[in-house]
Structure 1
Amino acid sequence: MRHENKALASVLLLVCVSYIGVALPYPILAPLFIGATPAKLADFMRLPPELLLGLVLAAYPLGMFLGGHVLGALADHLGRKPVIRWTQIGVCLSYLLSGYALLQQQYLLLLFSRLLTGLFEGNIAIARSIAADLSHAIPKTTSFSYIHAAVYIGYLIGPLLGGALLYHSASTPFYFAAALALVGLGYFERMFQETHSRTTDAPVVTKFNAWILLRRRTVRQLCLINTLSALAFSTFYQFYPLYLVKIYDFGSDGIALLTGVLTVSLIFSSLVMVKVGKKYLSLAANIIWSLTFYGLLGSAMMLVNNHFAFYVLFTLLGLFIVTSGTNMGVYVSDHTPADEQGKLMGLLASLSAIGTVLSILLGSFLATFSPYYPMIGSVLFAAVALLLFMRLHLQNDVAPSDLISTAKHS
């Protein structure tokens, strides 16, 4: 196995076990706060348990927002391997802290530990920058799509493991996540060879500040488009269960099955559809058609009233969510210098994380008026992202025929 393949394999395992750890708490936290027998920490300062739960859920993406851009910039300066090494140790310790907080029923400690976990797991940005580093040997569309597949596999396995481990105690899944973090780190240390050398000394404001990339007009516009598309997908993820319950009276089993269908579709698209799209369409065309079909399918979901139709729609939605997200990441990466990929991926991770928080807050507000509104918001975010991308792409003197033609790309 070539060292590039070994490097990518080590990153994929690290990403997968990281996201298993991320998803492990999903079946755990809500029952602790609003279940039939809430835990002691759900009575913190006699605040509404829904608010306490919301703060805990928001702490992780907030931590990722704070950590992503800093860690990405650090990896550009110090190299990928040392930053991943120390942040992964931080991930392990923060999971142990979460388990201890639940054991002691300490709400503030749990809140802090989830913030800390998100901060250290901002190292997902470094995984994507490693994929960009390997583009001389492995096309970016391939490595980026494999990273997406690793993320979705983690999301599929995590809740299942979390539910199974919950029978021992609420702390057990967090201890297991800490062990997984060490397993991923061990394999990474053994298999990974550094892909990015240390940079020369530069002013601190440049060295550790990913936001400085936004001074460039094209990067700024692409980051806005990427964030809008991420908002579209995040709003859909967060609120389709509410929509299905309120409008079509879906139960937990039905939502779980649809979620499984969507996740399998996301994985399949990451492993297969991205390659197919690359073969027949240009990079820009993949983005444009994916966002277009996402908007059409999202609109169709609000018109059908047949349960079988939902399975078809969710399967197709999964395909276009991945092809859009993967190709958008490659497109932005291609417009940024090789020695700033860490900064860029950190910036994108931070923007995506804050987008998740905003989608939860905005979607919750819209849902108080109608469960349709978050779904409409998701489609509108995608539509605006599509229009802005088409405008930017055509402004860059790309022939309109490129939107439907075959073209080689990263």
Structure 2
Amino acid sequence: MSRSLLLLLVVVVIDQLDSGMATPIYPMLFTDPDSPELLVSPRSAERSGAWFIALLALAYAVPAFLCQPIIGQLSDRFGRKPLLLMSFASSTLSYAVVAAAIHLDSFGGVLLGRVIDGFAAGNILVAAGVIADRSDGAERTRRFGWFTAALSLGFVIGPLFGGYLSDTEAADWRGPGTAFAVSGVLNLVAMAVFWLGFRESLAEEDREEDDFAWGQSFRNAKAALFDEGRRSLYLLLACFIVAYMSFLLFAGVLLEERFGMGPVELGWFFSALGLGLAAVQIFLVDPVEKRLGARRALCAVFFLMAGAVALVGSAWSPWVAYAAIVPFALGTGMIEPVLQSLISRSASEREQGRVQGVRGSVDSLARVLPPLAAGPVAALGATGWALYAAALAAALGGVGSAWLVAHKPSAAFARSEGEEGDAGDGDHRRDDDLTGTGGRAEEPEESVAYT
């Protein structure tokens, strides 16, 4: 592994602290009426606390949906490094705004911080483009496994980090605002290190010079629906994101409501979950995909994820929720790197930023659905049913994967599976040769233009 790639993974871990850190903090801010750090009235916390968490998720998802493809286009034109630096700077500003808002007891300020972070959400999209730039052949799946493992590792550290720093009972200087402030400082340091040590991954000759397109998010959503070669992959990704984000949003609320878990206990729970995800993505993604093939592996792990989420939703003891971590990690840890790799393999080197932009738009659009659909359910006091809805989304992904097992796979699936696909007879052409053109950059006449 090159120094720049290793540095990218380390920075991604630090940048992802926010996602994991907020999970044990949000219940004490919005749903626990006895919390001294409550940002809403105790009555609002009891009656609709989950809805405030859903609004924060929505405040992030909408600007992320609008901005990710734009950032993808800019990274194709100007390179990955400047766009990553800009996104890291925006994330640092977001942490500072949230920390100040918590200190001032302002829900509106926290909401503003989440909006700013949504505008910076393209950093993960561009980082995925770096992996695609520097990976060929079978190495791509393995490196995307490392990439998603880095995301999960941030989720391992984040809940412990957030739970420890927000525990006001342990020390007066701790609190949710402290956690976000320290995270902002870490992100600023990571940005400086990245600026000094990262080498640009996109060569000048591979950069796009096409006209810049505003409103690309909506074109991407349309492209995802009408792209026959990748549509099944995008739909499976949407099912996964809806299930995963619903779980992250409301599992902590359920555990706090049902078992009285505080930020430290929730931190341990979500850290154990993140550790399981990282282990699966580091050690199991590559061998399982090679043994089962992408379609069969996705079918099995989607159903495994659905069962684990439903188990947490029906948990009658904290230990039942802890027991669900194992199947959840086995299922969830496989899905995203396999789908990410398949989507990346379906594109040429010059298309990587734009195809990742479409993938990012599907991801962001899917993140809008949990707060809109499951949020009102959880706000009515039926948090368990919000998790059952998440399990249903994962089960739909399993059904879709089973359909792909029974029918002719798309080109992306065929190219990913060796002996199972059309290219499995010892042909080791480039992974972006999905049209039978021998590696040429030409697109078929009916291919979708992402501009």
Name the TM tier (shorter chain): 0.7 to 0.9
Q: 2:275 is matched by which residue type in structure 1?
A: V
**Number of the residue aligned with 1:42:** 40
> In structure 2, what residue type is equivalent to 1:173?
A
Q: Letter of the 1:71 partner, please give it.
A: I
Specify the alignment match of 2:19 in structure 1.
22
1:173 paired residue number? 179
In structure 1, what is the equivalent of residue 401 of structure 2? 386
- Aligned partners of 1:304 and 1:380: how far apart in 2? 19
Question: Share of identical aligned residues, percent?
Answer: 21
Segment of structure 1 superposing worse, 14-23 or 280-289: 280-289
1:277 is aligned, of 281, 288, 297, to: 288
Residue 53 of structure 1 and its aligned partner are, at CA, apart by: 4.2
For 2:249 and 2:3, locate their aligned partners in 1 and report how far apart those are by CA, in whole Å.
35
Letter in 1 for 2:6: A
Partner of 2:420: 402
In structure 2, the CA distance between the partners of 1:82 and 1:208, relative to structure 1 (3 Å rule), is farther
Q: TM-score, structure 1 length as denominator?
A: 0.82
- Partner amino acid, structure 1, of 2:202: H
CA contact (8 A) 1:62 1:357 kept: yes
In the alignment, the residues of structure 2 paired with residue 156 and residue 400 of structure 1 have an alpha-carbon distance, to the nearest angstrom, of: 33
Q: Structure 1 residue aligned with 2:235, among 224, 233, 245?
A: 224
Aligned: 1:190 with 2:223: no
Task: Measure the CA separation in 1 of the matches of 2:245 and 2:377.
Answer: 14
Residue 69 of structure 1, CA deviation: 2.0
Q: Distance in 1 between matches of 2:18 and 2:315?
A: 35
Alignment of 1:289-304 (within 5 A): 289-295=300-306
Instruction: Show the counterpart of 2:30.
Output: 33
Higher helix proportion (structure 1 or 2): 1
What is the CA deviation profile of residues 331-360 of structure 1, one whole-angstrom value per residue up to 9, with x for unaligned ones? 111112222222222332332233233123
Q: CA RMSD in A?
A: 3.8
State the alpha-carbon separation in 2 of the partners of residues 400 and 296 from structure 1. Answer: 30
Q: Does 1:61 align with 2:51?
A: no
- Give the superposition deviation at 1:55: 2.0
Q: CA deviation at 1:92?
A: 1.3
Q: Which runs of 5+ in 2 are unaligned?
A: 432-451
The answer to whether 1:371 aligns with 2:384 is: yes
1:127 maps to what in 2? 127
Question: In structure 2, do the counterparts of structure 1 residues 272 and 361 end up closer, same or farther at CA, with 3 Å as the change threshold?
Answer: same
Aligned-pair distance for 1:322? 1.5
The answer to whether the aligner puts 1:6 opposite 2:3 as a matched pair is yes
Q: Which residue of structure 2 lines up, in the alignment, with residue 91 of structure 1? A: 91
Query: How big is the shift at 1:184?
Result: 1.8
Deviations 1:19-64 (A, max 9, x none): 1133333333432334425668536xx9976344432343223332
Equivalent position of 1:328 in the other structure: 339
Which residue identity lines up with residue 202 of structure 1 in the other structure?
D
Distance in 2 (alpha carbons) for counterparts of 1:285 and 1:376: 19
Equivalent pairs counted in the alignment come to 403
Q: Relative to 1, partners in 2 of residues 1:366 and 1:107: Cα closer, same or farther, differing over 3 Å?
A: closer
Pairing partner for 1:235 from 226, 246, 255: 246
| Equivalent pair of 1:65/1:353 in contact (CA under 8 Å) | yes
Check conservation: 1:240, 1:375, Cα contact below 8 A: no
Q: 1:125 to 1:393 in 2, by over 3 A?
A: farther
Deviation, structure 1 residue 178: 1.5
Contact 2:126 2:353 in 1 (8 A): yes
- The alignment status of 1:204 with 2:182, answered yes or no, reads no
Residue of structure 1 in register with 2:299 after alignment: 288
Alpha carbons of structure 1 residues 301 and 252: separation in structure 2 relative to 1, 3 Å: closer
**Distance in 2, Cα, partners of 1:400 & 1:86:** 39
Cα 1:325/1:158, change in 2 over 3 Å: same
What TM-score comes out, normalization by structure 2 length?
0.76
Work out the CA distance in 2 between the residues paired with 1:92 and 1:156: 20
- Alignment deviations for residues 170-189 of structure 1 (CA, whole Å, 9 cap, x no partner): 43222212111122222222
Measured after TM superposition, the shift of residue 300 of structure 1 is: 7.2
- Give the Cα–Cα distance (whole angstroms) in 2 for the partners of residues 27 and 236 of structure 1: 13
Alpha carbons of 1:300 and 1:264: their partners in 2 closer, same or farther (altered >3 Å)? same
Q: Which residue of 2 aligns with 1:345?
A: 356
* Alignment correspondent of 2:442: none
SS at match of 2:40: helix
Which letter does structure 2 place at the counterpart of 1:228? Answer: C
Deviation at 1:235, TM superposition (A): 3.2
Deviations 1:139-191 (A, max 9, x none): 11121111111111111211222233234244322221211112222222233
Is the deviation greater in 372-381 or in 249-258? 249-258
- SS of 2:156's equivalent in the other structure is helix
Q: In structure 1, what residue type is equivalent to 2:88?
A: Q
Aligned-pair CA distance for 1:127: 0.8
Question: Residue 261 of structure 2 corresponds to which residue in structure 1?
Answer: 252
**Structure 1: which 4+ aligned runs deviate by more than 4 Å?**
37-41, 46-49, 206-210, 239-246, 253-258, 295-313, 365-370, 395-401, 405-410
Q: Is the 8 A contact 2:273 2:325 kept in 1?
A: yes
Matched position secondary structure for 2:229:
helix
